[in-house]
Structure 1
Amino acid sequence: MSQTHRVRFDPVDIEIEANEDETVLDAAFRQGVMPLHGCKEGQCSSCKSFLLDGDLQMDRYSTFALADYESDEGYVLLCRAHAYSDLDIELINYDEDMIRAGLPVVTVPTRVEAMEQLTHDITLLRLVVEGPDAFRFHPGQYLDITIPGSDEHRSFSMANLPQGQDGKLEFLIKRYPGGKFSGLLEEGLSVGDALTTTGPYGTFTLRAGSDRRVVFIGGGAGMAPILSVLRQIAAKGDFDREVVFYYGARTPDDLFLLDEIRDIGVRIPNFRFVPCLSDSDEANWKEIGFDGAIGMVTDIVDDRESKLSEADVYMCGPPPMIDAGLEMLVARSVPQEQIFYDKFTVSAQAD
């Protein structure tokens, strides 16, 4: 029988209980505590922490996330760690407000309400939560959708705002050839089908206590959590910080939801949207309706943003974009506590 142990997180002075058959990260989620995390699969290092005291065992993980010498020194991954005694753990990267504002992770049944093709490879999927239990989340968070007929899941960010009891969940999903879930959006998934979802996860949420300007960097289906946060800002009506959204796409045909972004710009007083096209020599910006740029989105941000170190930077997109963005932000001396992103591994993000 699995035993239960106390886990204390320093320096935030938070205690949880963890069963031996669950990871420390899952135990925290279950109790509404939200440490920084990413893939939840031992591949991204977002939840890397330091074991001060106690006995734990680790599931298999990538040495890219936790090098052998780090493990020897006492570093651990919360998403792989199982407590076998009371533990004292020092969080390395943390946002105390986010940790305490976490919502308990729950599993809820949903059904497919609608699917709409937005571009040649992006689909809008709308789910409705079934049953009496509401699904709560913060704008910018994500959940796991179980692939029908398997124990595997894929992680997708909500694009909509929490809407009380109506139970609607919207996702912008990139379809991959042969994708185990995204492939079902073309053949295999229909309106009315049942899906099991678990969440919310993620710390890609607006830091309302900051007075810094906000820079969003997105690409592909990474539009989803940024759109959710932008909808939150627009709904506030009194947001007085500058907001700029750089969105990377390949060609004009890969841009979508421009009408809504234009409407958001009307409701956020100091807002700019900059589409960035990587596979186009030129573009008719007048026809598109925005003043954009040609090139890789992270290069354009680096070129145009002279005071990045004074901004809160939010990134969501494919792993190569995140890696390039992080390298650029480090080179520009942006403090780590001002950088927010959910780095999904390929297997966790897509297929």
Structure 2
Amino acid sequence: MNDQHKVRFEPVGIEIEVSEDETVLDAAFRQGVMLMHGCKEGQCSACKSFLLDGDVQMDRYSTFALADYESDEGYVLLCRSHAYSDLQVELINFDEEMIHSGLPVVTVSTEIMSMTDLSRDITRLVLRIVEGELRFYPGQYVDIRIPDHDEHRSFSMAAPASPDGTLEFIIKRYPGGHFSGLLEGQLDVGDKLDVTGPYGTFTLKASSERRLVFAAGGAGMAPMLALLRQMAESRNEREVVFYYGARTEADLISLEDIAELRERLPQLTFVPCLSESWPEDWNEATTGFVHDVVGRHEDSLSSCDVYLCGPPPMIDAALGLLSEVGVPREQIHFDKFTITAESGND
């Protein structure tokens, strides 16, 4: 029997209905309530909350996301939690501006318009929606289903929604990657792909006028481009400095897009950072890992809104820096690219 239960979220006072066969997070998505989340697979802890009352059972998760002692104290991961009674849940991380503006999660059919290699291991993928309608905010991501499989991979859009229904992605290719590996000769223009979303709360907060600091590495370029393009379209005049980390000069991507954005956003400063090798005339102050460069260049981070996107080591190092210099938690926004638990790829 698949019973229905009510879940009330405090301190925001929002109530949803949830079936026993769906997670609390999925039920929220279905009803257009955008709770804080990340990987949706029990690995990142972004949706960690406190169970005030009720009975839940959790699917398998990583103890890095929820330690055993936290579970014993009553903490839960909403992406793994199934309700078996009415629940009262205290949200730990939430954004009231975002939570009330959620868009229902839908599945649309798309076809591949183009695939272009941007570097030795990064591809620009452009899809066109051929059936359905997908609304999303710049900075959000979708799940792309792997053809002929039940599995999916998550990728951020690199541009705001367009009238013609195109979706642009910047995807890092991994050897043997279940989806990214298909970009090396197995997928072709015209192939169909199912896309589900939107997900994510990595969006520009309109209520703030603080100076912006962006820091990204690799395919983390994608949501940053989406946010910058949104700023250009809306003529947002906030000052923004974008630090982008790559290994070598050959790994720097989307430089033409950044140059075009700088013409439309005169308040944008772009700082490329190289960690492994650099030209002889390279500015020594921008060598090293991206968080190190940010630390050397920025002396008033606590007065900025900071947006981070990239692989876990980069995000963890940057969060450590921000904690050291006293940046308030509400001014930090990050999108951590987690590795899929079962395959270790994509």
Asked if 1:320 is matched to 2:297, the reply is no
Deviation at 1:283, TM superposition (A): 4.8
TM-aligned CA distance change 1:291 to 1:246, over 3 Å = farther
What code does the residue aligned with 1:134 have? Answer: E
Q: Which residue of 2 aligns with 1:306?
A: 299
- Give the Cα–Cα distance (whole angstroms) in 1 for the partners of residues 285 and 23 of structure 2: 45
TM-aligned CA distance change 1:291 to 1:245, over 3 Å = farther
Q: Is the 8 A contact 1:275 1:292 kept in 2?
A: no
Q: Which residue of 2 aligns with 1:263?
A: 260
- Give the Cα–Cα distance (whole angstroms) in 2 for the partners of residues 257 and 62 of structure 1: 35
- Give the Cα–Cα distance (whole angstroms) in 1 for the partners of residues 85 and 98 of structure 2: 27
User: TM-score, normalised on structure 2?
Assistant: 0.96
175-184 or 21-30: which moved more? 175-184
User: TM-score, normalised on structure 1?
Assistant: 0.95
Matches within 5 A, 1:157-168: 157-164=156-163, 166-168=164-166
**4+ runs deviating over 4 angstroms:** none
Q: Is the 8 A contact 2:309 2:337 kept in 1?
A: no
- Give the Cα–Cα distance (whole angstroms) in 1 for the partners of residues 7 and 337 of structure 2: 26
Q: Which residue of 2 aligns with 1:68?
A: 68
Deviation at 1:292, TM superposition (A): 7.3
Q: Which residue of 1 aligns with 2:134?
A: 135
What code does the residue aligned with 1:146 have? Answer: R
Q: Which residue of 2 aligns with 1:79?
A: 79
Matches within 5 A, 1:327-338: 327-338=320-331
TM-aligned CA distance change 1:333 to 1:350, over 3 Å = farther
| SS of corresponding position for 1:232 | helix
What code does the residue aligned with 1:334 have? Answer: V
- Give the Cα–Cα distance (whole angstroms) in 2 for the partners of residues 217 and 58 of structure 1: 34
Asked if 1:209 is matched to 2:204, the reply is no
Q: Is the 8 A contact 2:176 2:345 kept in 1?
A: no
Q: Is the 8 A contact 2:139 2:223 kept in 1?
A: yes
Percent identity over paired residues: 65
**1:233-284, CA deviations, whole angstroms, 9 ceiling, x for partnerless residues?**
01112x2321000000111111122122112112113110000000115454
Asked if 1:253 is matched to 2:261, the reply is no
Deviation at 1:45, TM superposition (A): 0.5
**1:102-157, CA deviations, whole angstroms, 9 ceiling, x for partnerless residues?**
110111111111101111111110111122x2111000000011111211111100
Gap regions ≥5 residues in structure 1: none
Q: Which residue of 2 aligns with 1:243?
A: 240
Gap regions ≥5 residues in structure 2: none
Deviation at 1:56, TM superposition (A): 1.1
Q: Which residue of 1 aligns with 2:154?
A: 155
What code does the residue aligned with 1:312 have? Answer: D
Asked if 1:276 is matched to 2:273, the reply is yes
- Give the Cα–Cα distance (whole angstroms) in 2 for the partners of residues 44 and 265 of structure 1: 34
- Give the Cα–Cα distance (whole angstroms) in 2 for the partners of residues 49 and 173 of structure 1: 31
- Give the Cα–Cα distance (whole angstroms) in 2 for the partners of residues 291 and 272 of structure 1: 17
Aligned length: 344
TM-aligned CA distance change 1:11 to 1:224, over 3 Å = same
| SS of corresponding position for 2:336 | coil
242-251 or 252-261: which moved more? 252-261
What code does the residue aligned with 1:3 have? Answer: D
TM-aligned CA distance change 1:343 to 1:2, over 3 Å = same
What code does the residue aligned with 2:18 have? Answer: A
341-350 or 48-57: which moved more? 341-350
| SS of corresponding position for 1:346 | coil
| SS of corresponding position for 2:109 | strand
Q: Is the 8 A contact 1:124 1:173 kept in 2?
A: yes
TM-aligned CA distance change 1:59 to 1:156, over 3 Å = same
- Give the Cα–Cα distance (whole angstroms) in 2 for the partners of residues 179 and 57 of structure 1: 31
Q: Which residue of 1 aligns with 2:198?
A: 200
What code does the residue aligned with 2:50 have? Answer: F
| SS of corresponding position for 2:340 | helix
TM-aligned CA distance change 1:12 to 1:104, over 3 Å = same
Aligned match for 2:171, one of 170, 173, 186: 173
| SS of corresponding position for 2:266 | coil
